[in-house]
Amino acid sequence: MNIDSLRSEVRQWLADHWDLAADRAEWLAAVVDRGYAVPRWSREDFGLGLDEESAEAVEAEFRRAGAPGSGQDRTNLWANTVLAYGSADLRQRFLRPLLLGEIRMCLLYSEPGAGSDLAGLRTTAVPDGDSYRVDGQKVWTSNAAEADYGMLIARTDPEVPKHRGISFFFLPMDQPGVTVRPLRQMTGEAHFNEVFLTDARVPAANMLGEPGQGWRVLQTALAYERVVLAESNRGASTRHAKKDGGEVDLIELARRHGRLDDPVVRQDIARVLTLRAANRWNNQRAQAELEQGTSSSLASLGKLLMSRLLHETGRVQTAIVGAEAMLEGADHPDGDDANFAAMNAYFTSIGGGTDQIQRNIIGERILRLPKEPDRFRDVPFREIPKSG
């Protein structure tokens, strides 16, 4: 089927089925069953087996109709990770519910002593019958309090170097051995949590990949997470600011505050719009390169660019609004948004790997610069001294 015929088919299907008042669960089920949720995947895995150009055409028609659900083969990091590394049993149990949004997920990666050097994690998973016993602590975990499962990386073999003794699991969160405590952010929100794992259990059948190969699984999961972060715009509050595709309309903001004729403000706005365009192009490039079961260093480039974009947007909002940016609350909506944007930009600078980590990846994998020295890289993990 050529692109024009495919577009017409999708457009007609949306006209026949999409209703703004439709039940979201029923709608997502229809999208998944039709194959539009993951058009790049095979038909055996709820997809259509389309190439990149055709899949983008499907997504474009969904965007035009304002209908959700398509493009999850790019943005659903949970389902993509299961498809790439899950057993037949895991795919059977998790793929469809994840595409339908029936299972809530979180990421159990970072630890108090293993953030930038994630391979230095000390949470352990010890075999115990047909399950593993998990002990340790995770931090900066988004949505942990509501999650049904967490994508967990834990050390299963301390006798090998740190990158090789890690395994990857889907850990059930609703159990006595899991304690979640919220971490309050400077924006007043509490998206992050610390998670304590004490004799928690995870079935051996919930391991993705082979024992000790969790670092490889993690690289794929991180690549999808960075693609999502590079596309998302968390720099503005949803309460007041006028948006265009989820982004603050800086031109309208400057016009409203009588600053649109200011040459410095105009130059600042132009710089932000240029960064937005560059970010869109880089995301398209990264998505085209990100084949199932692999990772793309270009995702780090996009994630770093989004971080810079959000900081720059917050700075420009503050410059436009002026003294009102020192105020917050519903009585000062533009100031509230500028305040939120400036503080919340740090979310993307930290989540999914810090800006510094992204620069390392870009330097080593894209620019081919020498790797940072790590004297413990080939040392059995048990022999690595504990920090602090």
CA distances from 314 to 187, 302, 330 (A): 13, 18, 18
Q: What is the pLDDT of residue 297?
A: 75
CA pair distance 187, 210, nearest whole angstrom: 40
Q: How confident is the model at residue 245 (pLDDT cuts 50, 70, 90)?
A: very low
305 and 97 Cβ atoms separated by less than 8 Å: no
225 and 73 Cβ atoms separated by less than 8 Å: no
Residue 62: how many CB atoms within 10 A of its CB?
20
CA neighbor of 212 nearest in space, from 159, 144, 256? 159
Q: What is the pLDDT of residue 237?
A: 45
197-226: average pLDDT: 93
The structural domains of the chain, with segments of one domain joined by +, span 3-75, 105-213, 232-366
Mean residue pLDDT across the chain: 89
Q: What is the pLDDT of residue 295?
A: 56
Say whether pLDDT at 234 is over 60: no
Share of the chain above pLDDT 90, in %: 64
Lowest model confidence (mean pLDDT) among 175-179, 184-188, 274-278, 340-344: 184-188
Lowest model confidence (mean pLDDT) among 127-136, 237-246, 341-350: 237-246
46 and 96 Cβ atoms separated by less than 8 Å: yes
Say whether pLDDT at 333 is over 90: yes
Q: What is the pLDDT of residue 191?
A: 73
Relative orientation angle of helices 263-289 and 214-231, to the nearest 10 degrees: 140
198-223: average pLDDT: 95
Query: DSSP secondary-structure letter at 365?
Result: I
Say whether pLDDT at 49 is over 80: yes
Say whether pLDDT at 240 is over 70: no
Q: How confident is the model at residue 78 (pLDDT cuts 50, 70, 90)?
A: very high
Q: What is the pLDDT of residue 246?
A: 59
Lowest model confidence (mean pLDDT) among 17-21, 131-135, 372-376: 372-376
Residues forming a β-bridge with 149: 105, 172
Two structure tokens written together for 239? 């309460």
Say whether pLDDT at 187 is over 90: no
Q: What is the pLDDT of residue 293?
A: 53
306-313: average pLDDT: 92
CA pair distance 30, 36, nearest whole angstrom: 9
384 and 376 Cβ atoms separated by less than 8 Å: yes
Q: DSSP 3-state assignment of 221? A: helix
77-100: average pLDDT: 96
| 128 CB-side CA count, 13 A | 12
- 289-305: pLDDT as tens digits: 666 555 567 778 888 88
Cα torsion 59, 61, 64, 67: sign: negative
- Total residues belonging to the chain: 388
Query: DSSP secondary-structure letter at 111?
Result: B
Say whether pLDDT at 230 is over 90: no
Q: What is the pLDDT of residue 296?
A: 64
CATH dotted code for 232-366: 1.20.140.10
Say whether pLDDT at 60 is over 60: yes
242-248: average pLDDT: 57
Residue 139: how many CB atoms within 10 A of its CB?
20
70-88: average pLDDT: 94
Q: What is the pLDDT of residue 117?
A: 82
Q: What is the pLDDT of residue 375?
A: 83
Single-letter residue type at 222: L
DSSP string over 16-55: HH--TTS-HHHHHHHHHHHT-SBTTS-GGGTB----HHHH
| Token pair 């800006």: residue | 355
CA pair distance 166, 321, nearest whole angstrom: 49
Say whether pLDDT at 201 is over 70: yes
CA pair distance 153, 138, nearest whole angstrom: 10
Say whether pLDDT at 306 is over 80: yes
CATH dotted code for 105-213: 2.40.110.10
CA neighbor of 282 nearest in space, from 307, 268, 305, 302? 302
CA distances from 21 to 25, 26, 137, 226 (A): 12, 11, 43, 32
Say whether pLDDT at 206 is over 90: yes
Say whether pLDDT at 233 is over 90: no
Residue 169: how many CB atoms within 10 A of its CB?
27
Single-letter residue type at 202: V
